Amino acid sequence: MALNKAKVITVTSVKGGTGKTTTVLNLAGVLANLNKKVVILDLDLYSGSVAASLNLDKGSDIFTMCEDMMNNRFQTFDKYVAPYNEYIDVIASPLDPRNVNKIKANYIEIILSRLILKYEYIIIDTNHIIDNLNLVVLDQSDTVLYTITNDLMDLKNMKTMVSIFKDMQLNNFKIILNEARLNNTSYSKEDVKSLIGAPVDYVLPKNFYNKNIEKFVFEGKIMILDKSIASSKGGSTLEKIIKDIIKE
């Protein structure tokens, strides 16, 4: 009998400040609402904030897991996973940024190969740096979601990344335009398509990150688990992203 393997969803960007981590949390929330078991793997190694955003106790982290594997001390994932609720687990980024460079890409590959047998979905939060570790992550991903804003530098960087994906003949990426992160400039969906050379697959509306977002962060709550937010236009967009991934 063939084993069911988790789908790997990586959420990334081409610069900081695009709402990437909030998107990660809300996508995990959508899966939880669908009763799917999901783990968030925080590979934004220098500035990861998933565990902090959810007020989770980071007793262990991804560095501890890798170190235990290197020294034959690894036993079970339970030692390294922080549960958020019945459906969402979190593996935190390193507590000490000095340990980041000690994490080897080959151990991330091993960790993913084991996690796909334990969960239904793996959502990876990563940074915009193209290094060996992130190349492994992109290679292991079923779907790569790029969160971008209307910022011109963001769009120019995304154009470069689109060219790289096309050169590598990869088509498993989708683009989320986060209008809730608008700056003074404002390009339409069609403008963005023209500027970056690829279609915008999803748009998070301006009003999605409402005035109470600070309250959710302070209380360590995922916004979309609130019924009123789940039923909003932004909530519907995030639900569509997940349902499209499920269909694939």
Q: How far apart are CA 146 and CA 196, in angstroms?
A: 12
For residue 27, give the DSSP letter. Answer: H
169: left (phi over 0), alpha (psi -120 to 50) or beta: left
pLDDT of 1 reads 37
Q: Is residue 57 part of a domain?
A: yes
Max Cα separation, the chain?
A: 55
What is the Cα 112 distance to its own chain's centre? 14
Length of the chain in terms of residues written: 248
Q: Is residue 205 part of a domain?
A: yes
Nearest one of 4, 13, 9, 79 to 38, comparing CA atoms: 9
Q: Is residue 109 part of a domain?
A: yes
Following DSSP, what letter does each residue of 184-232 receive, concatenated? S----HHHHHHHHTS---EEE-TTSS-TTHHHHHHHT--GGGSHHHHTS
pLDDT of 12 reads 95
pLDDT of 182 reads 60
What is the Cα 231 distance to its own chain's centre? 22
- Phi, psi dihedrals of residue 179, rounded to the nearest 5°: -75, -15
Q: Is residue 164 part of a domain?
A: yes
Predicted TM-score of the model (pTM): 0.94
Q: How far apart are CA 226 and CA 219, in angstroms?
A: 13
Q: Is residue 1 part of a domain?
A: no
Domain range for 17: 7-247
pLDDT of 183 reads 57
Number of domains in the chain: 1
Q: Is residue 35 part of a domain?
A: yes
What is the Cα 202 distance to its own chain's centre? 15
CATH assignment of the domain containing 137: 3.40.50.300
pLDDT of 181 reads 65
The pLDDT profile of the chain, 248 residues, written as one tens digit per residue, is: 346 789 999 999 998 889 899 999 999 999 999 999 999 999 999 888 899 999 998 778 999 999 999 999 998 888 899 999 999 999 999 988 899 999 999 999 999 999 999 999 999 999 988 888 998 999 999 999 999 998 888 999 999 999 988 887 878 999 999 987 665 567 888 889 999 999 999 999 888 766 667 788 889 999 999 998 899 999 999 999 999 999 87
pLDDT of 35 reads 97
3 state SS for 47-73: CCCHHHHCCCCCCCCHHHHHHHHHCCC
pLDDT of 122 reads 98
Q: Is residue 159 part of a domain?
A: yes
pLDDT of 188 reads 81
